[in-house]
Structure 1
Amino acid sequence: MPDRIKRIKEDFSELFDSSPAVIVKGPGRVDLMGSHTDYNEGFVLPVAVNVDVLAGGRLRDDDKVAVYSGNFETVVEFPLDTIEFDNVNTWSNYVRGVVHFIQESGVKLRGANIVLHGNVPIGSGLSSSAAIEMAVGFLFQMLIGFEMSGPELALIGQRAENKFVGVRTGIMDQFISRLGKKDSALFLDCRTLEYEHLPLDTSKVKIVVCDTMKRRGLVGSEYDLRRSQCEEAARLFQQWYPDVKALRDVTPEMYEKHKAQLPAVVSMRAAHVIGENHRVLRSREVLASGDFIEFGKLMNASHDSARDLYEVSCDELEAMVEVTRAAPGALSGRMAGAGFGGCTVSLVKDECVEQFLEVVSVEYERKTRLTPSLYVCTAEDGASVIEKGAEN
């Protein structure tokens, strides 16, 4: 991180002839459990990890926001009173959306110069979008000094992604990026936003993220179709159980009674979500007790359900899961994020990590002719201040 902080300062000085008043981070995340449950108002169990977006900023004397992306090597500028979608520099829409909805919440903002640099692999399933949203939102909070709770800022990030960018994501990604805690996983009820930090002792077991190098985009993908199928399932259950608002409210017993009355594909989607919610609740118990063996089994079951019932896997993900599950020290292997490509996540015994990495790298490339990127991850704090400079 020191090299990236230095780069932000150098870019800031070159572009804006000053130094950032504050540098913050918004971390990426890995969902250990909870595949496609968040937008069904269910339960999730993610962890904030040690890849992130850094944002350095300083207030301006006007109402313009200038943002430089070190990843895309591009500067964009927009006025606070007219924030429009950018069809060219699409990365900037995550910034624009957050700024728009912070203002819509009643906060009076000022213009700012911002430099961003991220090391969250884009399109990998580690939620680079939530990382940039929470980095920018938290940066403005530090620069302006307005009060806003973690859940409130997470909801603003979600609105930015849903209504400005146009991706119908749930709340999990923004919530864990803002409210993660070091050496902890986060259990979240996506309906009530009640949450609990669970201890995640990574001295004995490491979280290893394996990037398949198969990229996927949520906009225009099968993601929205899956969400619509879940909403259809919930509407159908309402005719038998009027209190059902989302699949979160459907118990396994209710599903078994009526599954034959559902369209086949809708029934499959519902079966996954209902079963996954049960697995997350069970995971909460076993993780709290430190039972990584049982937790690994639940992670594997989660992947298998997402593959067979939700149909969001692909050849590259299946190759990686097969390789990681068979590798030395592995307790689990499942897709991370929405699927359709991106990363897998494994729990690996600490003493076997180096051997695991070597075997996975060789065997995955042998199967796919793709060279994977592998990350040994730690559980980190959510959006937070990295460094403060001179005041605005």
Structure 2
Amino acid sequence: MDNIANKVATIHTQRFDQEPDVFRSPGRINIIGEHTDYNEGFVLPAAIDRYVYIGISRRVDNLIKLYSINFDKIVYSTVELIEMQEEQWANYILGICKLLAPTYSHGFEMTVYGDVPIGAGLSSSAALESAVGYAVNAVFALGYDRMQLAQIGQQCEHQFIGVRCGIMDQFASLHGRLNQVMKLDCRNLDYSYFPLELGDYEFVLLNTNVSHSLASSAYNDRRSQCETGVAQLQMRYPEVHSLRDASVEMLDLAIPDPSEQSYIKSRFVIEEIQRVSKVCDYLNEGALDKVGELMYATHRGLKEAYEVSCPELDYLVDYIREYPEVLGARMMGGGFGGCTLNLVKKTFVAELIERVSKAYESLFGIALDSYVVKLGEGTAHVH
């Protein structure tokens, strides 16, 4: 059992006077494939070595008691009457519990701790949802498989949080494997693993520590614009069910005005789906320089076409692309803040972090956080 799992178990026992089962679920990075998941495209995520931990013990009555170590807050509910509350961290848990509630009858105590940075684009919320779903499923022997739990996490976002996300984040958290990336087909949920061999390079996350308020509303707007693009494509190509089925040439004929937002947003997604397949080929070939070029291309599209970047993210990408030791960089996640993902030569990481941190804080007055991430294990029972 790792040190954090031991900490969670100890705190849970002290607070609730019961020894818990402890589960953990990882955050994730996405090598490439932004905003493709809800368009039935491909994504290329990997679990990372930062986790949300859940300590859980069963009760004999119907009470639910939730305690967050990070926020030092406790929330109460019952199995029969689960309602959303002011504590936002608790709503991710309660949403999952409400979706699962018809299948269990007893209450429980739950202690939560996470070291996945919140708001950094590493899907801390999906890690929490996945950990909770997996834990409740295991403790009450409900019989759900990992993909079903991922879908329940996605439903929680849609129904209780108000974000119409795709399934990538929950999938990656639940299905991660050590030192492997996953290519997920978001249409039929087929997936495959293959090793990620970075050699002399490693992934570095640079956290802007900003979270602009546009993120949730803009995410839903972009999804609607893509749906409009599909509807326009279907008028000419009825066989098109999603942007996954379209090419740029088809888009040009279906939407003759390239200044329409539905055209601009749809074209980005179509090109991004193509980039996922190219990156898989380049990883198999060991062509990391070409992977890096496509990371830069994705960022340019997210900035100029999809319009989900922000000055802080753009500055970080522009700053480090001047260094030959950096093969690629891009913003990662829904947008308007969070992290950039950077493919950096190992021997240059410390120097790069020192330089970019000083430059960033000097310009924006905000401290820059950095994380060197390794690929981690998916959701698991750890104690």
Q: Where on the TM-score scale, by shorter chain, does this alignment land: which range?
A: over 0.9
Q: Distance in 2 between matches of 1:315 and 1:244?
A: 36
Change (3 A) 1:123 1:82: same
Q: Distance in 2 between matches of 1:197 and 1:290?
A: 16
Identify the residue that residue 246 of structure 1 maps to in structure 2: 242
Identify the residue that residue 335 of structure 2 maps to in structure 1: 339
Q: Distance in 2 between matches of 1:217 and 1:137?
A: 28
Q: Distance in 1 between matches of 2:105 and 2:8?
A: 23
1:117-146 CA distances to partner (integer Å, 9 max, x unpaired)?
A: 011111111111101000111111221233
TM-score normalized with structure 2 length: 0.95
Moved more, 2-11 or 301-310: 2-11
Tell me, yes or no, if structure 1 residue 383 matches structure 2 residue 379: yes
Tell me, yes or no, if structure 1 residue 144 matches structure 2 residue 124: no
Identify the residue that residue 390 of structure 1 maps to in structure 2: none
Identify the residue that residue 96 of structure 2 maps to in structure 1: 98
Q: Which runs of 5+ in 1 are unaligned?
A: 388-392
Identify the residue that residue 34 of structure 2 maps to in structure 1: 35
Match of 1:364 among 332, 356, 360: 360
Q: Is the 8 A contact 1:122 1:128 kept in 2?
A: yes
Q: Distance in 2 between matches of 1:327 and 1:216?
A: 28
Identify the residue that residue 299 of structure 1 maps to in structure 2: 295
Q: Distance in 1 between matches of 2:2 and 2:159?
A: 35
Tell me, yes or no, if structure 1 residue 280 matches structure 2 residue 280: no
Identify the residue that residue 124 of structure 2 maps to in structure 1: 128
Q: Distance in 2 between matches of 1:220 and 1:276?
A: 21
Q: Distance in 2 between matches of 1:219 and 1:325?
A: 25
Change (3 A) 1:328 1:357: farther
What is the alpha-carbon root mean square deviation over aligned residues? 1.7
Q: Is the 8 A contact 1:50 1:377 kept in 2?
A: yes
Aligned with 2:187: secondary structure? coil
Q: What is the 5 A alignment of 1:304-315?
A: 304-315=300-311
* C-alpha displacement of 1:67: 1.0
Tell me, yes or no, if structure 1 residue 171 matches structure 2 residue 167: yes
Identify the residue that residue 23 of structure 1 maps to in structure 2: 22
Aligned with 1:145: secondary structure? coil
1:86-137 CA distances to partner (integer Å, 9 max, x unpaired)?
A: 1x11211111111122245xx3353111100011111111111101000111
Q: Is the 8 A contact 1:328 1:352 kept in 2?
A: no
| Structure 1 counterpart of 2:52, one-letter code | V
Q: Is the 8 A contact 2:252 2:258 kept in 1?
A: no
Change (3 A) 1:61 1:50: same
Q: Distance in 2 between matches of 1:217 and 1:91?
A: 18
Tell me, yes or no, if structure 1 residue 77 matches structure 2 residue 76: yes
Q: Is the 8 A contact 2:232 2:255 kept in 1?
A: no
Identify the residue that residue 49 of structure 2 maps to in structure 1: 50
Match of 1:159 among 155, 159, 162: 155
Identify the residue that residue 117 of structure 1 maps to in structure 2: 113
Change (3 A) 1:220 1:355: closer
Q: Is the 8 A contact 1:233 1:262 kept in 2?
A: no
Q: Is the 8 A contact 1:328 1:356 kept in 2?
A: no
Identify the residue that residue 12 of structure 2 maps to in structure 1: 12
Aligned length: 383
Identify the residue that residue 261 of structure 2 maps to in structure 1: 265
* C-alpha displacement of 1:41: 1.1
Q: Is the 8 A contact 2:24 2:382 kept in 1?
A: yes
Q: Which runs of 5+ in 2 are unaligned?
A: none
Change (3 A) 1:34 1:270: same
